[in-house]
């Protein structure tokens, strides 16, 4: 494997345990791992000049539904609340085929890569027309991003009092069998793994209590992580209290859905007792500020969660509720939204970047990612701060205040995925053309 030497970063934001910031520093990468950090390093390696740049760890996306990049800005869903929004979109998603899943995943991942993301999870919870989790796994492998796909599921259809149409739900036995199949086929527990599979029933309002419990048992038996949506908005809390007689935190705890191997998306409405429960058990949270704003869900108590010690990462959420998928812009939104609720000192640009890097890596059970430290995986984002977005900045390292929203270079496991602003592993124009054609077909079918 090529050895790379990043030479002379204006600012190196390491996000290491001491949160060191180095000036004029080099980073030596070898075999997918960061070998050395320092000034004027000597090595037999391909040199990449990063002067004029801020260098950060690759950003980590902890929550996404990549398939939704084919349903951005659907008119009838633009101004709806969560449950109404789902009811507009379910019939469109029911038409998806393996080609829709693969193409939309590539679009979502390419957008993430250009915005600094080196590791993304995905939550795919509907499987119409022969679609399978590996449609997205192949898409990620082709681009070269580190991927954490989760086998999602819905089992309670409308005829049983659930929200999704019956055509999008699956029998619970089939769901568990397919979880085992995809874990056995694709999950790689190695330290440099580019694919770790998780188990992820969609939400407490689309699967049974029994499936939640069995999914947790299965995940622990296989040594994989658990993920779902939790406490997203007021309707969600009301549903939990009416159907289960308790708040979502209690429901999660009763079914084995707390612990360092579990992360929940949103958690906008966690109360003080639930925050304490998550902190005590090491249960992670995927904070999705744009989606929460877009769907009017509220402001997640992220500052309180972090003070209590809850592991918090960042997620763009699906492109039907964002509708962008730019991860560094999402980090800026996280910073701004805490300030709306708590004042200008509630979250700094550096803290939001920390959540977006090592915070997310820890939530996904990958502490070897998300920081630039000797021995860490070589996942690195290079931001050119010599352009218009940073011109006049007194502190270019405060990247989320004034800085570019796309990377110059992106390195994943020691390989260049983006160079000079261009993805190296696919033809982006051809991909956009394919995605546009598929979206137009879906519109024509309405
Ligand atoms: Zn989601």
pLDDT digits (tens, 9 = 90+) for 306-318: 999 999 999 999 9
- Structure tokens given for 408: 């110059």
Asked if residue 104 lies in contact with residue 69, where contact means CB atoms within 8 angstroms, the answer is yes
For residue 231, give the nearest of 172, 197, 278, 169 by alpha carbon. 278
Could you tell me the sign of the dihedral formed by the alpha carbons of 376, 378, 379, 385, in that order? Answer: positive
Residues for the chain: how many in total?
446
- Residues whose CB falls within 8 Å of the CB of residue 247, separated by 6 or more in sequence, listed in order: 231, 237, 240, 241, 271, 274
Report CA(327)–ligand 1 centroid distance (Å). 15
**DSSP-based three-state secondary structure for 323:** coil
- Vertex 28: Cα angle to 26 and 34 (nearest 5): 115
220-257: pLDDT as tens digits:
999 999 999 999 999 999 999 999 999 999 999 999 99
Q: For residues 302 and 300, what is the distance between their CA atoms, to the nearest angstrom? A: 5
Q: For residues 127 and 133, what is the distance between their CA atoms, to the nearest angstrom? A: 8
Asked if residue 316 lies in contact with residue 66, where contact means CB atoms within 8 angstroms, the answer is no
* Residues flanking ion ligand 1, Cβ below 5 Å: 317
Q: What is the mean pLDDT of each run of 10 residues along the chain (446 residues)?
A: 92 98 98 97 97 98 98 92 88 96 98 98 97 98 98 94 90 97 98 97 90 98 98 93 95 97 98 98 98 94 97 95 94 97 96 98 98 98 97 97 97 98 98 98 92
Phi, psi of 36, rounded to the nearest 5 degrees: -155, 145
pLDDT of residue 263: 98
Report CA(202)–ligand 1 centroid distance (Å). 8
Report CA(193)–ligand 1 centroid distance (Å). 24
Q: What is the pTM of this model?
A: 0.98
For residue 12, give the nearest of 380, 432, 258 by alpha carbon. 380
26-48: pLDDT as tens digits:
999 999 999 999 999 999 999 99
- Structure tokens given for 18: 């001491």
- Structure tokens given for 264: 């929940």
Report CA(124)–ligand 1 centroid distance (Å). 9
């Amino acid at each position: 494997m090529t050895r790379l030497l990043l030479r002379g970063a204006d600012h190196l934001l390491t996000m290491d345990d001491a949160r060191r910031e180095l000036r004029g520093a080099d980073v030596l990468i070898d075999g997918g791992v960061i070998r050395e950090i320092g000034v004027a390093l000597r090595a037999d390696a391909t040199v990449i000049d990063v002067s004029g740049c801020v260098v950060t760890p690759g950003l980590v996306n902890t929550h996404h539904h990549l398939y939704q990049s084919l349903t951005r800005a659907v008119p009838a869903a633009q101004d709806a609340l969560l449950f109404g929004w789902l009811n507009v979109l379910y019939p469109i998603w029911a038409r998806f085929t393996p080609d829709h899943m693969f193409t939309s995943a590539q679009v979502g991942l390419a957008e993430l890569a250009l915005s600094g993301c080196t590791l993304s999870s995905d939550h795919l919870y509907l499987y119409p027309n022969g679609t399978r989790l590996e449609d997205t796994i192949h898409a990620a492998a082709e681009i070269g991003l580190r991927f954490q796909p989760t086998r999602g599921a819905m089992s309670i259809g409308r005829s049983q009092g659930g929200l999704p149409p019956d055509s999008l739900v699956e029998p619970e036995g089939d769901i568990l069998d397919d979880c085992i199949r995809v874990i056995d086929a694709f999950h790689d527990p190695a330290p440099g793994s580019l694919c770790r599979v998780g188990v992820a029933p969609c939400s407490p309002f689309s699967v049974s209590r029994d499936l939640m419990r069995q999914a947790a048992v299965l995940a622990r038996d296989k040594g994989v992580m658990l993920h779902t949506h939790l406490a997203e908005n007021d309707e969600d809390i009301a549903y939990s209290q009416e159907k289960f007689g308790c708040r979502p935190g209690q429901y999660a705890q009763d079914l084995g859905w707390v612990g360092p191997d579990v992360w929940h998306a949103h958690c906008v409405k966690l109360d003080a007792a639930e925050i304490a429960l998550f902190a005590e058990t090491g249960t992670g949270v995927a904070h999705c500020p744009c989606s929460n704003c877009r769907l009017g869900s509220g402001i997640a108590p992220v500052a309180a969660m972090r003070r209590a010690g809850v592991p918090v990462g960042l997620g763009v959420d699906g492109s039907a509720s964002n509708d962008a998928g730019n991860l560094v812009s999402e980090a800026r939104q996280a910073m701004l939204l805490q300030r709306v609720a708590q004042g200008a000192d509630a979250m700094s640009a550096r803290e939001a970047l920390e959540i977006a890097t090592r915070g997310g890596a820890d939530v996904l059970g990958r502490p070897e990612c998300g920081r630039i430290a000797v021995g860490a995986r070589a996942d690195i984002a290079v931001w050119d701060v010599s352009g218009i977005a940073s011109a006049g900045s007194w502190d270019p390292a405060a990247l989320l205040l004034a800085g570019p929203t796309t990377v110059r270079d992106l390195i994943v496991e020691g390989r260049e995925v983006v160079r000079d602003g261009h993805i190296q592993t696919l033809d982006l124009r051809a991909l956009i053309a394919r995605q546009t054609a598929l979206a137009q077909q879906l519109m024509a079918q309405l």
